[in-house]
Structure 1
Amino acid sequence: MLVEKCPIKLVESTDYKTKAYDKWVKVDKMGRCYILASMKNMLQHQYQSMTIAYDKLESLTEIFDEKNRAAKQTAMKSLLTTKMIEETSVREHVLKMMCLLNKLKILGAIIGKESQVEMAYRLYRIVFNSFA
């Protein structure tokens, strides 16, 4: 419901449309309360005047999406440039790589099949070279 814009309430609406509108208004009101309650005071003051939860979510997405993109780029750079340190166990290196992959997954990064295969191959080469 919060990701939908407000349906138009017409004077001569069907019973179904009226119920849908009333439900949307109720959910929107709850959503606005939850959003404001979870914000710091400074943000609460800025978003108090917005009357629709959808608008608040859109605005917050615009603000914080850029930070998320930067975090993804940093994690991806770390993943691609991480090298196994001498005298470090293969297990530690693999765990470090898995941690970076998990971080990317949490941030919503999508890693294509070809990239996954390439990463698996790199790990295989590391393991193979450490026992050679």
Structure 2
Amino acid sequence: MSRLSGLRLYLNTASFSPLVTILNQNKLTGSDYVDWKRNLDIVLTTEEHKYVLTKPCPSFLSLDAPLEEKQRYDRWQKSNEMAKCYILASISNVLQHEMQDVELASDIMLSLKEMFGEQGRSARQETMRQIYNTKMAEGSSIREHFLTMISNLN
């Protein structure tokens, strides 16, 4: 069984966290990058693995390194692997194949942000433009205008 097949089987059958359902139901396909990233951040934060996206791996230790340093290194490595699993399991099959050999979860996230992050920025700009240009038509319902504005903000 390949590493990727094992990962899929593990995360599809695992009930170790009800939050995994969030990622299974909201896979990254491209246009949904902002929503996907928010859901991934929730899961990684809850599972205490998000720090590997911002903190570098501790230096590889010598055999005579103190136990505390070895534990810190091992904890970071395990969190990196778990973060990679969550990321890979929550992206499309095509993206999985592209990213499966990347060693660091932070590198996978950087690649995904480069691919899809700009779409989120342009969507926010377009939404702000819609909000700014939306005017209440004379004689129309305040309620309808309010709901339109709320919809744009959402």
The answer to whether TM tops 0.5 is yes
Choose which of 58, 65, 76 in structure 2 pairs with 1:7. 58
Q: Which moved more, 1:40-49 or 1:57-66?
A: 57-66
Match of 1:28 among 80, 98, 102: 80
Higher relative contact order (CA 8 A, sep 6+): 2
Q: Which has the larger radius of gyration?
A: 1
Give matches, 1:1-132, under 5 Å: 1-3=51-53, 4-11=55-62, 12-101=64-153, 103=154
Distance 1:13 1:43 in 2: 38
Instruction: Report the Cα distance in structure 1 between the residues aligned to 2:52 and 2:109, rounded to whole angstroms.
Output: 8
Runs of 4+ in structure 1 displaced over 4 angstroms?
none
Amino acid at match of 2:72: A
Distance in 1, Cα, partners of 2:130 & 2:78? 45
Cα drift, residue 7 of structure 1: 1.3
Alpha-carbon separation, structure 2, partners of 1:91 and 1:13: 66
Q: How many angstroms does 1:85 deviate by? A: 2.1
Two-structure CA RMSD over aligned residues (Å): 1.4
* Distance in 2 separating the partners of 1:5 and 1:55: 11
Quote how far apart the aligned CAs of 1:86 are: 3.2
TM-score (norm 1): 0.70
Distance in 2 between the 1:92 and 1:34 partners? 41
Q: Percent identity?
A: 40
Q: CA deviation at 1:51?
A: 1.1
The CA distance in 2 between the partners of 1:65 and 1:40, in whole Å, is 16
Structure 1 gaps, min length 5: 104-132
TM-score computed with the length of structure 2 as normaliser: 0.61
Shift of 1:18: 1.1
User: What corresponds to 1:123 in structure 2?
Assistant: none
The alpha-carbon deviation at position 31 of structure 1 amounts to 1.2
Gaps of 5+ in 2: 1-50
Q: CA deviation at 1:87?
A: 3.4
